[in-house]
Amino acid sequence: MHDHAPDNLPPATGIHPLIARLEAEFHYPRLHSAHDLAEFLARPGVHCLFVPGDPRRNLETADAAVILPELRLAFQGAFDCAVIDDAIEAGLREQYRALKTPGLLFFRGAEFLGAVEKVRDWSDYLARITHFLSLKAA
């Protein structure tokens, strides 16, 4: 089932309610700039960057916003999460060649581990994320 973004989103934010939920309920920071991104990736551990894309054009964005907290729970908090803001999304997608949205980009510190693009079967998420977590820093 797909949740369509309401046409009456506040113009100031334009954030889909399920993406806003990631910030409000799960406390995932929104990364607005290259500086924010660098600070987030400087933290120790594994990080997942949620690249939502345009929820008005891509119906999978809302699904991915629901799936991400479930994945974090399934992996018992083995990675932290952040939401990528529109301001830096295109550059980040291009830099890491993860062009399809929604996307989950995984890093160990600032080292890119890989991406899961588009919505996938649960078993595919589990296999890919298990692989990313198994990779050692260079």
- Residues 51-72: what's their mean pLDDT? 95
CA-wise closest residue to 65 among 101, 106, 113, 13: 101
Write down the pLDDT at residue 5: 47
Which letter does DSSP use for residue 29 in this model?
P
- Report d(CA 2, CA 107) in Å as an integer: 28
Whether pLDDT at 9 is above 90 = no
- Report d(CA 12, CA 74) in Å as an integer: 34
Whether pLDDT at 7 is above 90 = no
Q: Which domains does the chain have, with CATH numbers?
A: 17-134 (3.40.30.10)
| pLDDT band at residue 136 using 50, 70 and 90 as cut-offs | confident
| pLDDT band at residue 137 using 50, 70 and 90 as cut-offs | low
What is the residue-averaged pLDDT of the chain? 91
Write down the pLDDT at residue 12: 37
Which element (helix H / strand E) includes 73? helix 60-74
Task: Compare 11 and 111 and report the one with higher pLDDT.
Answer: 111
Whether pLDDT at 1 is above 70 = no
Q: Read off the pLDDT of residues 93-110 as tens digits, 9 standing for 90 and up.
A: 999 999 999 999 999 999
Pair 131, 114: CB distance under 8 Å: yes
Characterize the bridge pairing of strands 30-31 and 79-84: parallel
